[in-house]
Amino acid sequence: MPAPLSLPDLAVGARVEETFLVWEVEQRTQNDGSPFAIVTLANSTGRVKTAPFWSSDLHKVEGLEKGAVISVIGEVGTYRTDRQIRVQSLRPVPRELVDWARLLPSVGDVAPWWATVEKWRGDMAQGPWRRAVALFYDDPDFRGRYERCPASLGNHHAELGGLLKHTVEVGAIARAMVKVAGASPDLVLAGVLLHDIGKLEAYRWDGLFEMTEAGSLLGHVVLGALMLDRRLDEPEEPPVTEGERLLLQHLVLSHHGELEFGSPVRPMTLEAEILHHADQASAGTANVLTALKESANFGAGETVSKPIWSLDHRRVYRGPA
pLDDT tens digits, 244-276: 999 999 999 999 999 888 899 999 999 999 999
- How many Cβ atoms are within 10 Å of 26's Cβ, its own excluded? 12
Distance of alpha carbon 69 from alpha carbon 264, whole angstroms = 39
Q: What is the pLDDT of residues 59-100, one digit of tens each?
A: 999 999 999 999 999 999 998 878 899 999 999 999 888 888
Distance of alpha carbon 204 from alpha carbon 145, whole angstroms = 10
Task: Give me the chain's average pLDDT, please.
Answer: 93
- Around 34, how many Cα atoms within 13 Å sit in the side-chain half-sphere? 8
Distance of alpha carbon 175 from alpha carbon 271, whole angstroms = 11
User: Residue 15 — very low, low, confident or very high, per pLDDT cuts 50/70/90?
Assistant: very high
Question: Is residue 115 pLDDT above 90, yes or no?
Answer: yes
What is the pLDDT, as a whole number, of residue 206? 84
Task: Tell me what the mean pLDDT of segment 151-170 comes to.
Answer: 95
Distance of alpha carbon 107 from alpha carbon 87, whole angstroms = 29
Neighbour-count burial for 138-169, b at 16+ CB within 10 Å, e otherwise? eeeebbebbbbbbbbbeebbbbbbbbbbbbbb
Question: Is residue 167 pLDDT above 90, yes or no?
Answer: yes
Q: Which contiguous run of DSSP H or E holds residue 26?
A: strand 15-29
What is the pLDDT, as a whole number, of residue 261? 86
> Does residue 137 or residue 320 have the better pLDDT?
137
Question: Is residue 300 pLDDT above 80, yes or no?
Answer: no
- Domains of the chain, CATH where assigned: 7-101 (2.40.50.140), 104-289 (1.10.3210)
What is the pLDDT, as a whole number, of residue 48? 93
Question: Is residue 58 pLDDT above 90, yes or no?
Answer: yes
Residue 258 φ/ψ, nearest 5 degrees? -135, 150
What is the pLDDT, as a whole number, of residue 82? 83
pLDDT > 90: percent of the chain:
77
What is the pLDDT, as a whole number, of residue 299? 80
What is the pLDDT, as a whole number, of residue 57? 92
What is the pLDDT, as a whole number, of residue 60? 92
What is the pLDDT, as a whole number, of residue 311? 85
Q: Are residues 295 and 308 in contact, defined by beta-carbon separation less than 8 angstroms?
A: no
Question: Is residue 321 pLDDT above 80, yes or no?
Answer: no
Helices (H), the chain: 100-103, 111-123, 128-137, 140-146, 162-181, 185-194, 199-202, 213-233, 242-254, 270-293
Q: What is the pLDDT of residues 200-238, one digit of tens each?
A: 999 999 888 999 999 999 999 999 999 999 999 999 999
User: Residue 46 — very low, low, confident or very high, per pLDDT cuts 50/70/90?
Assistant: confident
